[in-house]
Amino acid sequence: MSEELGRALDLRLRTAQAEGLPSISAAVVRRGEIIWSSSVGQAILEEGIVATPGTQYRIGSITKTFTAVAVMQLRERGLVDLDDRLDAHLPGIAHGGPTLRRMLAHLSGLQREAGDMWITGNAPDYEELLGVTEAAELVLDPGRAFHYSNLAFALLGQVVAARGGMPYTEWVDANILAPLRLTRTTWLEEAPVAQGYLVHAYDGGVSREPHLDTKGVSAMGQLWSTVEDLARWATFLAVGHDDVLPKESVERMWFPQVMVNPDEWVAAYGLGLKLVNRAGTIYGGHGGAMPGHLAGVFINRSSGVGAAVLTNSGARGVPEAIAIDLAERTREFLPELPTEWRPEQAPPDAIRALLGRWWSEGDEFVFSWKDGALQALPVGAPASVKPAVFAREGDGLFRSVSGYERGEKLVVVDASELAWGGYRFTREQESWSL
């Protein structure tokens, strides 16, 4: 990492802290390597304890990404299906109609909170959560529109416990935190920690905030962590890990299920992941808020660049935006270099005969051999359209395994005709022959 990039990242962090934060910590990760981390300010003002990248902060709703991964692990093991109703796993639960998929994407229609815990300061235990759910409202029809729900994720934690055969927190410890070696990510604070504060809006003073134990609704936001652990977590969310959740399942989490605002396509939700469109670049992750703490972690999958930001203020600061700012600066200073071109190994004769231009009535396609695979792309397609990459399934039979028309089969009829995705392809432009 260059000194120039380091100065740019430090400036962004110091500018944020100078706007009124007791402390802020951040880390930047690039393809699995933490290339920068820093902290500004004090973790505990009364004692003059300086924050470091190893200081724990509350991460609030970033916990939801761990809950989502736990649900996906159950799916991977055949213990749940994402389109199961909630009451298939919690029999007799009130409002059991929303599916697990809709709950993960904040499409359940369930009310936002698990009762009055943010008013009374008392979080429900596991038994009390059932009563809270009984009294809860279905404020929207399931699937109607995006509506953020902490209650939905609290109930997903119960699903993990019911189907995993152990308490939710123990499942996350054993199946996520331990194999990924996130040793500074814990359910209760472990020193050194940052005390949470409320920064007063007008007089510049601060008040200490209580550290609420969320008890039976831990799945929505109980965890503490450090920026370095979260940077490693971001990499996992981008590429998966064979001992935790394979890449194919992680990719499912990134597929948009709902736009937050359908009139402005700048934010969406996948399966437990918030997806942010920053000038055409997509970042996935989550934010978090707890009394005295705000947090954010986001990563761009294609570049592998992401950042984690933690603060010990419940007011001021925008950690989600700062995390993306840090990632954007890193991508600017460390752009992805094009892969050096080298000649391809010769394709098999059967594939060589398919290369070149083909027509599907008015649409022209080019079939080519690249990276050891048959590929196809419409002529003039924008950069956002990825080429179909085919895998051979038999004599004259291929299937698009990624990119354009993914999943559709390609049949070689003869030297002058193909059938792909239900359409006829010919070497010369031809009208429909119906």
Tell me the two tokens of residue 79. 């213990």
Chain-centroid distance of CA 166 in Å reads 25
Q: What is the DSSP letter of 110?
A: B
The rounded distance, in Å, linking the Cα atoms of 102 and 125 is 24
Residue 142: which of 92, 181, 97, 100 has the closest Cα? 97
The rounded distance, in Å, linking the Cα atoms of 21 and 280 is 30
At which residue do the structure tokens 């699903």 appear? 159
Q: Which residues pair with 420 in a beta bridge?
A: 410, 423
The whole-number mean pLDDT for each consecutive block of 10 residues of the chain, a chain of 434 residues, reads 94 97 98 98 98 98 98 98 98 97 98 96 93 96 97 98 98 98 98 97 94 96 98 98 97 98 96 97 98 98 97 92 98 93 94 96 95 96 94 97 96 96 94 76
Predicted local confidence at residue 432, as pLDDT = 79
* CATH superfamily, with its number, for domain 3-333: DD-peptidase/beta-lactamase superfamily (3.40.710.10)
Secondary-structure class of domain 349-426 per CATH: mainly beta
The rounded distance, in Å, linking the Cα atoms of 259 and 123 is 30
Is the Cβ–Cβ distance between 20 and 41 less than 8 Å? no
The rounded distance, in Å, linking the Cα atoms of 333 and 6 is 10
Residue 18: which of 320, 291, 322, 290 has the closest Cα? 322
Q: Is the bond preceding 387 in cis, omega lying within 30 degrees of 0?
A: no
Question: Same CATH topology for 3-333 and 349-426?
Answer: no
Predicted local confidence at residue 395, as pLDDT = 95
* Domain ranges across the chain: 3-333, 349-426
Give the three-state DSSP class for 248. helix
- The pair phi, psi for residue 161, each rounded to 5°, is -65, -45
Predicted local confidence at residue 434, as pLDDT = 67
